[in-house]
Structures are given as C-alpha cells and as structure tokens.
Amino acid sequence: MVSPNLTPQKLVILDRDGVINHDSDAYIKSLAEWIPYPSAISAIARLTQAGFTVAVATNQSGIARGYYDEATLRAMHERLKMLVAAEGGHIAHIAYCPHGPDDQCDCRKPLPGLLTDIQQKLELSSLQNSWMVGDSLRDLQAGEAVGCRSVLVKTGKGEKTLAKGSGLEHALVYADLTAFVDDLLADKLG
C-alpha cells in the first residue's frame, strides 16, 4: 500500500548487500549466508516509525550466474521484511536486477532502472531529493541519475569505494546505515 503522504523527500532507497547485510565477494547464495547487520534492521524500523518510506534496490547477478535462484532470493527478502516488521518497521518495495553485467538490461546499477521501478511502484512523480544509500559508486550513480541525494556507507565495499575517491563529490559519507539514520532523524541533513 502506498502512503498518500509519500513525497520523494521522505523516501530512503537502500542497496542491500553491504548496507543492510554482510556482503561477500563470493555472493550471498543462500538464506544461511544472508546475515543482516542488526543495527541496520533497527535503523530501517526507526525510519518507518519516523514517517519515512524505505525501499531496496539491489543487483543480484548471482541469479544470472546460476549461484542461486529467485526462490532463494525471495526467501532472503521475506526474512528481511520479517525482521524489519518485528522491530515495527516496513519495507515498501524491493526492486532487484537478476541480470549479469553483459546482459544489456536497463535495471542493473549504475543504470537507474531499479530506481524508476521503485518510483512507479510507489506512484511518485519523481525521485528528486530522495535518498540513495549504498556502499559502491554504482549505487550512488544510479541514484544521482534520477535526482537522489547520495549517501555512501563504509560497511560492505564502502571503505574500498571511499579509498578510490572518484565520483563521490556529491555524496555524504557515514560509518554505517545507523549513523546516517541518526543524522537524518535528528534533522541535521535538511
């Protein structure tokens, strides 16, 4: 259900692996390997309770590579939704790209297809001034392509992204999702 009071400014879009849960260079291939950051689950719930809408945009090329199937991915996402709900929060929509890097789709970040999917599902006229939180440059590039404000977290691949330093001119940098949510809810980000 779409909130009638939803505005782009009250939307926070999160990358999944490295932001919400631990990441792995070997891919997160099973429900057992999907290990959330407890503080991230709480942060999502706090956002919801403060009137923000939370969505997730995640590349899942492990499906195209044959490492896991869509049923396994659904199980991970159901667990995520359940954990967030148990803390009083809600995830409005999870958009994912099942394609590999050579599939020439329009949804794989850094392309903005996942974000426009979220925009359509949430019935927003634009994503201008929404928040895009990620741990890689491609997350930020996808968000910036549709007018989102960029947040890089240092969890997951965030430290490596920060060390490269390119493409971060417009990004706010935080230790993790909780630190960003603390500032956002304290109204420190305008």
Catalogue the active-site residues: 15, 17
Number of H helices, E strands in the chain: 6, 6
Instruction: Count CB-CB contacts under 10 A for residue 148.
Output: 26
ω into residue 110 within 30 of 0, thus cis?
yes
Strands 53-59 and 11-14: parallel
| Measured CA distances, 73 to 51, 54, 80, 81, 93 (Å) | 28, 19, 11, 12, 14
Tell me the Cα Rg of the chain.
15
Written as six digits, the tokens of 69 are 């199937």
Q: How far apart are CA 60 and CA 42, in angstroms?
A: 24
